[in-house]
Amino acid sequence: MNISFTDKQANYISAQVEGGDYQNASEVVRDALRLHQIYRHKIIEDLRAEIEKGWKENTSNKTVRDIIAAKTNQ
């Protein structure tokens, strides 16, 4: 598998390794993917909770975009 990074991303990965937080670039990428999975799962669960609230509560004037914006601006 080949993965391309921007210069900024590559510099960040190198800085993490050089700073001693990780032993190599693979560890940085694996950790980033793990955190992405956690973040994505949280966002999906939050959206599901909002949808469930919408089904159970009175009609809201919030749009889907409003709800997503509120969740991503936390």
Tens digits of per-residue pLDDT, 34-61? 999 999 999 999 999 989 888 887 777 8
Is residue 57 one of the residues assigned to a domain?
Answer: yes
User: Which tens digit of pLDDT belongs to each residue from 1-32?
Assistant: 899 999 999 999 999 999 999 999 999 999 99
Establish if 1 belongs to a structural domain: no
* Residue 56 belongs to a domain: yes
Query: What are 36's two structure tokens?
Result: 């992405």
* Overall domain count for the chain: 1
Q: What is the distance between the alpha carbons of residues 34 and 23, in angstroms, rounded to a whole number?
A: 17
Of the pLDDT bands very low, low, confident and very high (cuts 50, 70, 90), residue 62 is confident
Domain that holds residue 40: 7-72
Q: Note if the pTM is more than 0.85.
A: no
- 26 Cβ contact list (under 8 Å, min separation 6): none
| Residue 29 belongs to a domain | yes
What pLDDT, on a 0 to 100 scale, did the predictor assign at position 33?
97
Of 54, 56, 58, the closest CA to residue 46 belongs to: 54
